[in-house]
Structure 1
């Protein structure tokens, strides 16, 4: 994809319609879940390993965007502890309140992924690395390619992306989650690889984890972690 076409795609992304989507229900659900989230998901081995790998691969003091940062644990805290500069973004003000306490060295902003821009009044600039751990799960599938291109455009040349998704053939499906209902999407692994490559990334490596939450009505899942470089 050329720089010009990529800029055009990113410039109109608010979902395929070009209008910022209304995710009020998702944000309210995670506001209510708040501190219970880390109790229900205490074991984040895959996320910790992927965060460590990214932290070690980047030069000291690198600038990293943590998309869907949640409570700031473990990723924002892990990356700031490693000496990097972190901007965490999330839809949920409740999650961000917790993140500010859990990772005080990071900066946090309440933003929809679809609203991220490098330039402009609310621009976030460019980054050496991006983490998107399960953030794309919250999007309808027809938004995910646009979101991946947007993240590609926020990376400096040869910048790194650490991406995770749950392997599932789902599109904007309503599921019960910690006493609330959220909407999630997923890909089978070959489809995910293709979507990532189509967005302009080279996949350097991948890991798979089988994960069962500690206390939730969500069934065990297969987590896919892709380690990518901006092509």
Structure 2
């Protein structure tokens, strides 16, 4: 990718609309982990990331939620973790759950590797069900931002719910949130177009432990920055 295409990677041409998204997760609070107690796919994807990275690698947990299980899992494997989430309430829980990691309440669109508020570069990034909170048109920008935040050859663990949705409002644990999704082949195309090699994939049928959230088909992609 040429230096001249750098502008495409910036969020500056977008005006992200997060209306109500953080408020919903602030209100959900600790009920989130109670509603989603079985996270075999997420644990397996984070295990791949943790084991493939060199000891002591720097990892970004993008959309860290409560810090469980991913940030705790990565810290336990000896990695240095920065978790970011739009919801200040989730970040406060993450700080309590995983005090060994660093957490920030920040919109992913504001992340930059350099500059006064830059977060630096990472050896690995985990984004488990965080990009589905974005409109479809924004997801390629987010993926290219992850590409920029990763060092050459860096690893990226991504999960999405397989669904043909674009910024559609759904009830989630008693609160409305907006979600997007792709069918499998479309997701693979978008990820590869953002500059990633997909080195592994898995899928899980998942039924949350509450009738407030419908069953879902989860896609997990193990990726490398090409």
Inter-partner Cα distance in structure 1 for 2:9 and 2:90: 26
Out of 139, 152, 159, the position equivalent to 2:134 is 139
Q: Report the 3-state secondary structure (helix = DSSP H, G, I; strand = E; otherwise coil) of the residue aligned with 2:20.
A: helix
TM-score, L = length of structure 1: 0.96
- Uncovered stretches (5+) of structure 1, i.e. residues with no partner: none
1:72 alignment partner, one of 67, 91, 95: 67
After superposition, residues 125-136 of structure 1 pair within 5 angstroms as: 125-136=120-131
Contact 1:177 1:216 in 2 (8 A): no
Offset of 1:3 from its aligned partner?
4.3
Question: Residue 209 of structure 1 is aligned with which of 186, 199, 204?
Answer: 204
In 1, distance between residues paired with 2:220 and 2:99? 26
| Alignment correspondent of 2:7 | 8
CA distance in 2, matches of 1:18, 1:172: 15
Alpha-carbon distance in structure 2 between the residues aligned to 1:4 and 1:196:
21
Cα distance in structure 1, aligned partners of 2:78 and 2:32: 26
Shift, 1:179, TM fit: 0.5
* 1:123 equivalent in alignment to 2:118: yes
Instruction: Say which of 197, 200, 218 aligns to 2:195.
Output: 200
Q: What is the match of residue 14 of structure 2?
A: 18
Matched, 1:48 2:36: no
Does residue 225 of structure 2 align to residue 230 of structure 1? yes
Alpha-carbon deviation of 1:218? 1.9
- What does 1:167-206 align with in structure 2 at a 5 Å threshold? 167-206=162-201
Contact 1:40–1:216, Cα closer than 8 Å, also in 2: no
Contact 1:42 1:214 in 2 (8 A): yes
2:148 corresponding residue in structure 1: 153
Question: 1:127 & 1:179 partners in 2: Cα distance?
Answer: 36
Deviation of the 1:24 alpha carbon? 3.8
In structure 1, what is the Cα distance between the partners aligned to 2:43 and 2:206? 14
Structure 2: gaps (5+ residues): none
TM-score by length of 2: 0.98
How many residue pairs were aligned?
A: 226
- Aligned counterparts of 2:184 and 2:223: Cα–Cα separation in 1: 15
- Give the secondary structure class of the aligned counterpart of 2:178: strand
